[in-house]
């Protein structure tokens, strides 16, 4: 690998169904204390064509504003204009040599970071049905970035990629083997960029070699998945063929009886499409509580006496604890449990309730450390919240998918 030219910048786009997170980084400083972060921004799209923007140039005050953004394209263009404008963090748009994109699904073809051309884009379009809301948003982001950053490489980093190392016993579903062999139906797993990044951060925090560690990373935000990581590689994860499997989530059901799905379609109550909408958007915390998919609102309602909100939190916590426990036999032992994602990083009551069920594994957390952790983690300092006698270290780690993606782009620039 050669040396990096001067003033090389990487722009990262992490597009979800209704939001875009973005970072601009100095490629030569990605491993410095500040990770070379020059700017970060976020757009949240709302129904009715409004979008809230946050634009945060490093070392300057955040800018918050709301603009009319009737479609994603106008949202992207506004976001890009924040870094391109004359007093922005770039001397010239040509300094951006790579645009890194988080892409949810790489199917059975793409595992490693990949330079996107027309063929790759058309392959990705074929995976839309496997992760409908996310994959479409990712493709749109790449298409728009290509028209703006015309001199930059567009590089896709796949959420499925990290799980490519899972053994066959983790990826084959217990239907006919021909599903796997002929139809390419398998557990793909998602959130791989975050699981991989957090496993590295956990090893750094514990001053251990990741190659000798057995971890479970819990990426719990609006979506949620667990990953069992042995010697640095994913060996099992809770999401499956689609991001609907596994844990109870904000508005996704997670694993439910497949017989129920067949029955609901068979009796005509739902079509496949309407049931997919219910399972993806109207279930989980939102479905049970009838209040919200947002953990903050559900916890508040629970504290205010809502029985269904309390039930939703109880079912959510049970799903997490039992799925964590179910992964331990696959690992043989558990060195560390890592919480990350919006809920994992910020929600001490959920961490406490989950760990209260895992004492039999030797997982004990310190109440004060747990309560103090979220604020410290928000400022970027990962935390070990275990008690001294705990056999399993419980960590709270701030994920940074955009940084992980930028680091994945680096080899293409040398």
Nearer to ligand AMP, 143 or 310 (CB): 310
Tell me, by CB under 6 A, how many residues bind ligand AMP: 11
d(Cα 221, Cα 216) in Å, to the nearest integer?
Answer: 16
Member of 89, 100, 106, 221 binding ligand AMP (CB under 6 A): 221
SS3 100: strand
> How is residue 131 written in tokens?
């992760």
The yes or no reply on residue 282 touching ligand AMP (CB under 6 A) is no
C-alpha to C-alpha distances, 234 to 226, 320, 348, 388, 410, nearest whole angstrom? 10, 18, 26, 28, 23
Containing 39, the helix (H) or strand (E) segment is strand 37-46
Rounded to the nearest 10 degrees, the angle between the axes of helix 132-148 and helix 118-125 is 160
The yes or no reply on residue 300 touching ligand AMP (CB under 6 A) is no
Nearer to ligand AMP, 106 or 221 (CB): 221
Looking at beta carbons, which residue is closest to ligand AMP?
Answer: 342
The yes or no reply on residue 295 touching ligand AMP (CB under 6 A) is yes
d(Cα 219, Cα 342) in Å, to the nearest integer?
Answer: 8
CB of 144 to ligand AMP, least distance (A): 22
Member of 37, 193, 343, 392 binding ligand AMP (CB under 6 A): 343
Whether residue 99 contacts residue 154, with contact meaning beta carbons closer than 8 Å, is answered with yes
Q: Kindly give, in sequence order, each residue whose CB lies less than 8 Å from that of residue 370, ignoring residues fewer than 6 positions away.
A: 348, 351, 352, 385
The yes or no reply on residue 294 touching ligand AMP (CB under 6 A) is yes
Q: Catalytic annotation on 183?
A: no
The site string for ligand AMP over 172-211 (x = CB under 6 A, - otherwise) reads ----------------------------------------
Member of 55, 222, 289, 323 binding ligand AMP (CB under 6 A): 222
Residues 335-356 as b or e (16 or more Cβ within 10 Å = b):
bbbbbbbbbbbbbbbbbebbbe
Of 233-262, which residues contact ligand AMP (CB under 6 A)? 250
Nearer to ligand AMP, 154 or 222 (CB): 222
Of residues 159, 245, 384, 408, which has the active-site annotation? 159
d(Cα 20, Cα 82) in Å, to the nearest integer?
Answer: 14
The yes or no reply on residue 106 touching ligand AMP (CB under 6 A) is no
CB of 343 to ligand AMP, least distance (A): 4
CB of 193 to ligand AMP, least distance (A): 13
Q: Give φ, ψ of 101 to 5 degrees.
A: -120, 130
**Contact set with ligand AMP (CB under 6 A):** 221-222, 250, 294-296, 341-343, 346-347
Give the residue numbers marked as catalytic: 159
């Amino acid at each position: 690998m050669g040396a990096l030219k001067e003033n090389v910048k990487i722009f990262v786009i992490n597009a979800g169904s209704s939001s875009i997170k973005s970072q601009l980084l100095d490629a030569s400083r990605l491993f410095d204390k500040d990770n070379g972060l020059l700017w970060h921004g976020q757009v949240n799209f709302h129904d009715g064509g409004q979008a809230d923007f946050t634009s945060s140039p490093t070392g300057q005050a955040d800018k918050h504003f709301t603009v009319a953004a009737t479609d994603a394209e106008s949202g992207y263009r506004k976001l890009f204009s924040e870094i391109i404008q004359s007093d922005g963090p770039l001397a010239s748009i040509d300094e951006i040599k790579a645009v890194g994109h988080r892409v949810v699904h790489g199917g059975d073809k793409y595992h490693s970071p990949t330079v996107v051309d027309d063929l790759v884009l058309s392959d990705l379009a074929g995976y839309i049905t496997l992760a409908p809301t996310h994959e479409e948003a990712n493709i749109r982001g790449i298409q728009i970035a290509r028209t703006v950053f015309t001199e930059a490489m567009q590089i896709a980093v796949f959420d499925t990629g990290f799980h490519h190392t899972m053994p066959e016993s983790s990826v084959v579903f217990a239907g006919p083997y021909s599903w796997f062999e002929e139809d390419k139906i398998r557990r793909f797993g998602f959130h791989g960029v975050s699981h991989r990044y957090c496993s590295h951060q956990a090893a750094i925090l514990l001053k251990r070699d990741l190659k000798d560690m057995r971890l479970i990373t819990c990426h719990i935000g609006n979506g949620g998945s667990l990953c069992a990581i042995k010697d640095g590689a994913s060996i099992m994860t809770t999401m499956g063929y689609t991001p609907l499997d596994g844990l109870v989530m904000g508005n996704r059901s997670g694993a439910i009886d497949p017989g129920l799905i067949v029955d609901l379609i068979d009796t005509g109550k739902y079509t496949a499409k309407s049931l997919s909408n219910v399972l993806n958007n109207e279930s989980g915390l939102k479905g049970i509580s009838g209040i919200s998919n947002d953990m903050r609102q559900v916890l508040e309602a629970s504290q205010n006496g809502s029985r269904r909100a309390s039930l939703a939190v109880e079912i959510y916590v049970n799903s997490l604890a039992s799925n964590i426990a179910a992964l331990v036999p696959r690992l043989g032992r558990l060195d560390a449990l890592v919480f990350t994602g919006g809920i994992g990083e910020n929600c001490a009551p959920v961490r406490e309730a989950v760990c209260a069920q895992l004492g039999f594994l030797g997982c004990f957390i310190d109440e004060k450390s747990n309560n103090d952790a979220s604020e410290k983690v928000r400022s970027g300092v990962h935390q070990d919240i275990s008690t001294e006698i705990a056999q399993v270290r419980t960590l709270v780690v701030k994920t940074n998918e955009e940084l992980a993606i930028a680091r994945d782009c680096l080899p293409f620039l040398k």
